[in-house]
Chains A and B, each alone.
Chain A
Amino acid sequence: MTATTMNVGIVIVSHSPLVARGIADMVRQMVGDSVPLAWSGGNVHGELGTDAAGILRAIESAWSEAGVAVFVDLGGAETNSEMAIEMLGAPRSARVSICNAPLVEGAVMAAAEASGGASLSKVVATAEELSP
Chain B
Amino acid sequence: MQTEPKLIAGLIEVCRATIAANSDHLCALDRAIGDGDHGTNMRRGCEAVSAEEANLSSLPLPDAVEKIGLTLVMNIGGAAGPLYGTLLMEMGRELRTQEAGGAFPIILKRAIDAVARRGRATAGDKTLLDVLYPVQDALAHRSRLSDIASRAELSANDTAPMKAMRGRAAYLGDRSIGHVDPGASSCALLTVAICRYLEENRPE
Contacts and interface: CB of A to CB of B under 8 A. Distances in A.
A82 B168 contact: no
B79 A75 contact: yes
Contacts of A79: 79, 81-83, 118-119
Nearest to B74: A53
Given A44-B74, A53-B74, A80 B81 contact: yes
Interface on chain A toward B: helix, strand, loop, or mixed SS? Answer: loop
B44 A44 contact: yes
B85 interface: yes
A74 interface: yes
Interface of B: 35, 37, 41, 44, 73-75, 77-83, 85-86, 118-119, 166-168
A48 to B, nearest CB: 7
A41 to B, nearest CB: 11
Interface residues of A, number: 18
A56 to B, nearest CB: 10
B73 A83 contact: yes
Contact of A83 (B35, B75, B82, B168): B82
A102 interface: no
Contacts of B166: 75
A82 B37 contact: no
Given A48-B37, A82-B82, A83-B82, A43 B77 contact: yes
B77 A49 contact: yes
A132 B79 CA distance: 24
Nearest to B119: A79
Nearest to B82: A79
B73 A50 contact: no
Interface string A40-54: 000111011111110
Contacts of A49: 37, 41, 77-78
Interface in A49-80: 49-53, 74-76, 79-80
9 contacts: A49-B37, A50-B78, A51-B74, A51-B77, A53-B74, A75-B79, A75-B167, A82-B82, A82-B118
Best-surrounded residue of A74, A79, A80 (most CB of chain B within 10 A): A79
Given A75-B168, A79-B118, A83-B85, A43 B74 contact: no
